[in-house]
Amino acid sequence: MRQFVSMEEAFEAIEKYASQHPIKTSTVPLPDAVGQVLAEPAVAQLSIPPFNNSARDGVVLSSTGVDAAKRGEIITLAGELRAGDSIETANGLSGTAARIMTGAPVPDWGAAVVMIEDIEFSDDTSFIVKAIPDKGAWIRSEGSDITSGSVILKPGCRIVSEHVQALASSGVVEVTVHVRPRVGVCSTGEELVDISSGRPGSGQIYDSNRPFMNAVMQSFGCDVAVNEHVGDTLDEMVNFLKNAMEASLDLVVSSGAVSMGSYDFVKPALEALGAQIVFHKVKQKPGRPLLFAILPNGSLYFGLPGNPVSTVVNCRFYVHYALSVMQQQKQEGSIKLPLEAGIDKPEEIAVFLKARCARAHHGASVCALEGQESFQTRPLLEMNGWVVMGEREGSAQTGDMVNFYPLNPNGLPDIF
């Protein structure tokens, strides 16, 4: 077991072990895949458009028809093409022009489409062209958007509703995804009262970490299969870990009982079960007592400090990173933003600062908020992200560029 590792060393260790425990995969119907992470490439089965078709209501002209239009000649329609007509029907028309509707197939002789507004009819079948079209005008070419056989979505991408539009259009009816990770969460401490149990008594506080962990794991796309509170005894923690292993979880997260107090029993419980403790304590603020271990059944385990902001930080960055690695997702990158005001940073530790970025006439900038202690939750209502500074970085001045991460790993702050 390593102690007092750097932030970078913690991420490296998590990547090493998380990559050895990939989340299982399953092939599911496309509509059921939203919110899950793609495990195999999605390959287009059809080109988009699947055939040359008209982008406007109007008339399709052959090259000969375009030349006649340039001379101002009266042109005669050979027929009409509608959306839903077959390509064979379109190619079966002979002539120099045909009325065509949006989405209808363009005949193999079609050189350009003229919008209906640019046509003047002398009768039902005869017309002149008022605006000469360029070659290929208003024709959507086969495969100009998506080519059949091409990879259109790569593994590691979390599927959203907009993806379904493109995937369905190109004939992808099912996809192979990572199943929703099965996770367990646990809060510890005799002082905690469930938020649904009424007002806390003397010396008690609401259990806020457990509903937070449940919510954030769901936002990460997980299925929270175990959700428990454990009292301040070694036996209770050992029993929770045994139940977690029986539930075949991919990852387990607990809050509290990882420091050096008389009732901090997470580490002894893990040792009693023969778990591999990879590291304990990270040179960072908040959340220094973070513990990372591998349970005997292979499940990843994170023991988070009990202070609420420590739990938020470690879930947002370390737990989310482990889940990303287990599902082949790319490492998250920061947004570089200038500081509105300087930051006085402690030496030789990493810091995660509650922050808010805002847009002004000169562009976006970010400021660290008041209330950075790990018990202070009010800033969580005001912030839209985190400023993260590594242990080798010193204090920063107004205008210095810093690393900003949005609250939601899958999205940008609300100003963008």
Cβ pair 269, 201 in contact under 8 A:
no
Homologous superfamily (CATH) of 36-48+145-178 is: Molybdopterin biosynthesis moea protein, domain 2 (3.90.105.10)
pTM, rounded to two decimals: 0.89
Query: Where do the domains of the chain lie?
Result: 2-24+180-326, 36-48+145-178, 53-140, 335-406
Closest CA to 331 of 81, 115, 12: 12
Cβ within 8 Å of residue 72, ≥6 positions away: 128
Beta bridge partners of 26: 177
Residue-wise pLDDT tens for the chain (416 aa)? 899 999 999 999 999 999 999 999 999 999 999 999 999 999 999 999 999 999 999 999 999 999 999 999 999 999 999 999 999 999 999 999 999 999 999 999 999 999 999 999 999 999 999 999 999 999 999 999 999 999 999 999 999 999 999 999 999 999 999 999 999 999 999 899 998 888 999 989 899 999 999 999 999 999 999 999 999 899 999 999 999 999 999 999 999 999 876 668 999 999 999 999 999 999 999 999 999 999 999 999 999 999 999 999 999 999 999 999 999 999 899 999 999 999 999 989 999 999 999 988 788 999 999 999 999 999 999 999 999 999 999 999 999 999 999 998 877 666 55
Q: What is the pLDDT of residue 263?
A: 66
CATH 2.40.340.10 is right for the domain spanning 335-406: yes
State which fold the 2-24+180-326 domain adopts: Molybdenum Cofactor Biosythetic Enzyme; Chain A (3.40.980)
Q: What is the pLDDT of residue 275?
A: 98
Beta bridge partners of 29: 174
The CA-based angle 404-414-396, given to 5 degrees, is 25
Pure H helices in 171-293: 209-219, 234-246, 266-273
Residue 306 CB-half CA count within 13 A? 23
d(CA 102, CA 260): 71
DSSP 47: -
Q: What is the pLDDT of residue 409?
A: 87
Architecture of the domain defined by 53-140? Beta Complex (2.170)
d(CA 39, CA 152): 13
> For the sheet containing 223-230, what is the strand order?
2-5, 276-282, 291-294, 300-304, 251-255, 182-188, 223-230
SS3 79: coil
